[in-house]
Amino acid sequence: MKVAVVGATGMVGHVMLQVLAERNFPVTELIPVASERSVGKTVTYKGKDYTISSMEDAIAARPDIAIFSAGGGTSLEFAPKFAAVGTTVVDNSSAWRMDPDKKLVVPEINASSLTSEDKIIANPNCSTIQMVLALAPLHKKYKIKRLVISTYQSITGTGVKAVQQLENEYKGEKGEMAYHYPIHRNAIPACDVFTENGYTKEEMKLVNETQKILGDKTIAVTATAVRIPVVGGHSEAINVQFENDFDLAEVRELLQAQEGVTVQDNPDTNTYPMPIYAEGKNDVFVGRIRRDYSQPNTLNMWVVADNLRKGAATNAVQIAEYLAAKELV
C-alpha cells in the first residue's frame, strides 16, 4: 500500500513512522511529506532513509492513504486535494473533527461506521481518545449522565518547542518559550487558547468530541485542562455519573475486557497508572477505580496514556489498519 505521512518531521509524525514500522503496516511505498523548508531532507523508516516530498509531489503520487499530523490549516487546505485524487486521509488535527459530514473515529469504539466513501477521517484529540476508550464499555452498560474531568497533560502535546523549553529550564538556561510562563516545577491551567465562554479549546474538545464519538449529545461534560512538566503522557481524573447504578467488580471486568485498555488498580501494592510507565506504550491505562460516595451512581477513575501514541499516532495507524483490513481503500 502506498502511504503518505504528512508532517513526517514533527513529534507525532516521527512516532507515526515508528508505529507503522512496529505494527508492520503493509507499506509498499512510503511518501514522507513536510513543510517546504524540509523538502529534500530525509527521515528513517525501518532502517532506510526516505527523502521528504513536497505536498504537490505527494498528491501527484496518488497514495492509497495519507496520514496527516501537520496542523489544522495544512489539513484544511490539502486534505481535500488528496481526497480528490482518491486518497483516504486520516487527519490528526482539529480541522475536521466537528464537521457533521466527517467521522470522528476511535477504532475500538466506532470504526464499523466507516465506508469507502469516507475520504477524510478525523482522529480525535489526544485527551479525548484515552478517556472515551475507557468510558465506552461503561456508557454502553450504565449510560453516562455527566462527566467532570481534570487533565494533567504532557508538554509533548504542545510540541518540540515545549520540550526544549523544559530542558532549558532544567539546565537553568534561557531560550525560546512555548508557554507564557516557566513549565519546570509549575502547572499551567491553560491548554490551547481561551474561548469566549472562559474555557480553553482543549477543554471544549473534551466536551464536543466525547458526545460525538459516543453518539450521545445528552452527556453533560465539564473539564479543566492543565499542562504539567511531564513528557510521558496525559493523565486524567475522571468523575462519571451514570443513569444507572453499577457494581465495582463488574466495572473492572468491563474495563479489562475492553480492547486497548489495561487495568492497573491495586492500592495494596501501590499499583496505579503513571505517565512514566505509559510512555512508549499503545494501551490506555486505568486505575484508582472507586465509588464516589458523595452522590448516587457515580464513579471516580484515573486514566493515563502516551499522548503521542494512542492519543495520536497509534489511533491514526489503527484507523488505517481497519481501512486496509476491510478493503475500504
| Residue with grid cell 495507524, as numbered in its chain | 317
Collect all residues with Cβ–Cβ distance below 8 Å to 14 and sequence separation of at least 6: 8, 43
End-to-end Cα, the chain, rounded Å: 9
Cell numbers found for residue 64: 492509497
The reply, when asked if residue 62 is annotated as ligand binding, is: no
E strand or H helix at 314:
helix 314-325
The reply, when asked if residue 291 is annotated as ligand binding, is: no
Q: What is the DSSP string of 56-100?
A: HHHHHT--SEEEE-S-HHHHHHHHHHHHHTTPEEEE-SSTTTT-T
Strand partners, 144: 242
- Report the C-alpha gap between 177 and 182 in whole angstroms: 8
The reply, when asked if residue 218 is annotated as ligand binding, is: no
The reply, when asked if residue 44 is annotated as ligand binding, is: no
The reply, when asked if residue 75 is annotated as ligand binding, is: no
234 given a catalytic annotation: yes
The reply, when asked if residue 301 is annotated as ligand binding, is: no
139 given a catalytic annotation: no
Alpha-helical (H) ranges within 114-182 are 126-142, 160-171
The reply, when asked if residue 307 is annotated as ligand binding, is: yes
Nearest to 110 by CA among 180, 210, 227: 210
Nearest to 311 by CA among 158, 190, 196: 158
CA-based radius of gyration for the chain:
20
| Catalytic residue from among 14, 126, 139, 191 | 126
Amino acid at 157: G
The reply, when asked if residue 227 is annotated as ligand binding, is: yes
| Catalytic residue from among 14, 139, 191, 234 | 234
Phi, psi for 220 (deg, rounded to 5): -85, 130
The reply, when asked if residue 38 is annotated as ligand binding, is: yes
- Report the C-alpha gap between 119 and 82 in whole angstroms: 9
Phi, psi for 142 (deg, rounded to 5): -115, -10
Query: Which residue numbers belong to the known binding site for phosphate?
Result: 97
Query: Which residue numbers belong to the known binding site?
Result: 9-12, 37-38, 97, 153, 227, 307
Active-site residue list: 126, 234
Query: Which residue numbers belong to the known binding site for substrate?
Result: 153, 227
